[in-house]
């Protein structure tokens, strides 16, 4: 389940980084005159900048069988290497087309406004960036225009305060590698765009402390079929049959409702369960800026919840198929209980200025229940729900019960950016991340098809900017996804990993 929905994450974080720099320049400018690029709104002290970008990318994936779930199939995927790269033993489940595929993507359109106004309470700044996106349907064959435009970044600042839709405080834009709009091309990074409120204290010698309250949201996977969302990931798998009979005389129907449109499946979220959260995420961050670079450390407290109001009765116990609407909750077929767990994460990042304009960037994180901040996984980095049938004992303590497992996760990455000339630059990097999944909680199906165990990736690019605000680039990404088990349910067995090779050519024009 891709956690960054509809709009390109690369577009969002790129717009966020540019907006932050421009807003900072405006804040430092003379209050009576507009900073470079801005113009003064007549009759006010407000400086206004209109900004954005247009362009396109040519993307070739050697493995075109994977999907960028749930909304973006391979032909329109430009967020990252497809999330579910089939291992060789899983191809029969996820699709056998491994001939590769090429497409142009035009999700790099954005436009927006940045303002800066001096006040007695400090500088008042606003940022509003819109981007072109796709809804749950691919663009029409008659027109490649996208069906909607949405807000990517929208926040305001007043002195040390910030509120609105912004990059999470847990991430670090200044330590993010220049990977041509695919910020998660290197595994081992944390990030995301979400609403929140933040306070930043700036101390002496480049030291600062910040704290934020941000939107809470749980993602997870379940050993049973729960939730309600487009069921494109495993649309033709045995898990999509609908049982309208009894345990003694089951009647199996390949229901389009559950197999090709909306219906239950193993990945879930607060949204697909119709759930609720009880308190926001709390993030604290310390940062030290110096002429040689910067270092930062962030800490997250995050509540995970299985609160459910939609499709809370998952599996007809004993049949191994989805429960029909006529089946009701019972002691042997209970609704999903409201389980809450406390997750935590440490993220350490930074960059080092080396020679000329060159920089070395990197980071390491570790935590339990890292969840959607670890956005390149499929939900198993959040909450893993298990169910015990009549036998009892595994994974929960008694029969016919639900229980939750919160995995420990960690990751590391490093990247180096070199400027060959003022107009020509390159970035090379490598990253790795790992999730300690529980086979006992998830079983063979999830272990082989959903539960990403580790990601390993490498990237290299060459970007030419013949004039300011024009980026012409070529990038190669190698990405390897390892599952908890192969299709036979063997943990660590042969065939439990898949690889993709991506080549991207970009032409981006900023204004």
Q: What are phi and psi of 334, to 5 degrees?
A: -80, 150
Dist CA 76 CA 64 (whole Å): 11
Lowest mean pLDDT among 1-15, 198-212, 281-295, 383-397: 1-15
Q: For 220-227, what is the mean pLDDT?
A: 81
State which of 106-110, 119-123, 261-265, 407-411 shows the largest mean pLDDT. Answer: 407-411
State which of 232-236, 242-246, 264-268, 269-273 shows the largest mean pLDDT. Answer: 269-273
Residues 6+ apart with CB under 8 A from 140: none
State which of 38-52, 353-367, 488-502 shows the largest mean pLDDT. Answer: 353-367
Q: How many CA atoms, within 13 angstroms, populate the side-chain half-sphere of residue 122?
A: 9
pLDDT for position 238: 41
| Superfamily grouping for domain 9-510 | Porin (2.40.160.10)
pTM over 0.75: yes
Residue 136 near residue 147 (C-beta atoms within 8 A): no
Q: For 111-136, what is the mean pLDDT?
A: 82
Residue 209 near residue 297 (C-beta atoms within 8 A): no
pLDDT band at 310 (very low <50, low <70, confident <90, very high): confident
pLDDT for position 106: 60
Q: For 487-492, what is the mean pLDDT?
A: 76
pLDDT band at 87 (very low <50, low <70, confident <90, very high): low
Residue 429 near residue 214 (C-beta atoms within 8 A): no
pLDDT for position 212: 97
pLDDT for position 55: 85
7 exposure class (CB count in 10 Å sphere: 0-12, 13-18, 19+):
buried
- Percent pLDDT > 70 in the chain is 69
The CB density around residue 327, as the number of other CB atoms within 10 Å, is 17
- Using the predicted structure, report yes or no on whether residue 423 has a pLDDT greater than 60: yes
Going from N- to C-terminal start, the domains of the chain cover 9-510
pLDDT for position 346: 98
């Amino acid at each position: 389940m891709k956690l960054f929905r509809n709009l390109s994450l690369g577009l969002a974080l790129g717009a966020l980084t540019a907006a932050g720099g421009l807003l900072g320049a405006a804040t430092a400018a003379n209050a009576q005159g507009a900073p470079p690029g801005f113009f003064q709104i007549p009759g006010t002290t407000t400086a206004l900048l209109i900004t954005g970008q247009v362009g396109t990318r040519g993307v070739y994936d050697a493995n075109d069988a994977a999907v960028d779930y749930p909304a973006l199939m391979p032909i329109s995927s430009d967020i990252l290497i497809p999330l579910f790269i089939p291992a060789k033993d899983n191809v029969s489940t996820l699709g056998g087309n491994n001939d590769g595929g090429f497409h142009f993507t035009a999700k790099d359109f954005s436009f927006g406004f940045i303002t800066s106004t001096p006040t007695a309470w400090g500088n008042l700044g606003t940022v509003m960036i819109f981007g072109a996106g796709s809804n749950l349907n691919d663009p029409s064959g008659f027109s490649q225009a996208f069906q909607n435009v949405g807000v990517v970044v929208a926040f305001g600042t007043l002195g040390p305060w910030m509120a609105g839709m912004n990059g999470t405080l847990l991430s670090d834009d200044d330590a993010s590698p220049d990977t041509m709009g695919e910020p998660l091309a290197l595994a081992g990074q944390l990030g995301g765009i979400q609403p929140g409120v933040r306070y930043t204290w700036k101390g002496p010698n480049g030291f600062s402390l910040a704290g934020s309250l941000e939107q809470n949201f749980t993602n997870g996977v379940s050993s049973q079929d729960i939730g309600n969302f487009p069921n494109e990931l495993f649309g033709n798998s045995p898990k999509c049959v609908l049982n309208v009979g009894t345990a003694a005389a089951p009647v199996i129907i390949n229901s389009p409702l559950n197999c090709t449109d909306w219906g239950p499946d193993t990945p879930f979220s607060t949204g697909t369960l119709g759930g609720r959260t009880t308190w926001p995420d709390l993030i604290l961050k310390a940062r030290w800026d110096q002429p040689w670079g910067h270092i930062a450390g962030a800490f997250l407290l995050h509540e995970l919840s299985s609160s459910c109001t939609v499709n809370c009765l998952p599996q007809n116990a004993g049949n191994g198929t989805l429960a029909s609407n006529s089946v009701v909750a019972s002691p042997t077929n209970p609704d999903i209980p409201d389980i809450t767990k406390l997750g935590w994460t440490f993220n350490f990042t930074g960059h080092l200025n080396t020679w000329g304009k060159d920089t070395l960037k990197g980071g390491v994180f570790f935590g339990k229940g890292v969840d959607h901040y670890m956005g390149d996984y499929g939900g198993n980095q959040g909450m893993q729900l298990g169910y015990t049938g009549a036998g009892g004992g595994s994974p929960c303590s008694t029969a016919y019960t639900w229980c939750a497992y919160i995995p420990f996760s960690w990751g590391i990455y490093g990247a180096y950016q070199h400027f060959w000339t003022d107009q020509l630059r390159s970035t090379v990097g490598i990253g790795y991340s790992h999730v300690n999944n529980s086979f006992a909680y998830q079983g063979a199906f999830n272990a082989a098809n959903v539960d990403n165990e580790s990601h390993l990736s490498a990237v290299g690019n060459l970007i030419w900017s013949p004039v300011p605000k024009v980026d012409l680039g070529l990038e190669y990404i190698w990405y390897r996804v390892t599952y908890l088990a192969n299709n036979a349910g063997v943990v660590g067995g042969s065939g439990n990993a898949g690889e993709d090779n991506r080549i991207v050519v970009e032409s981006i024009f900023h204004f």
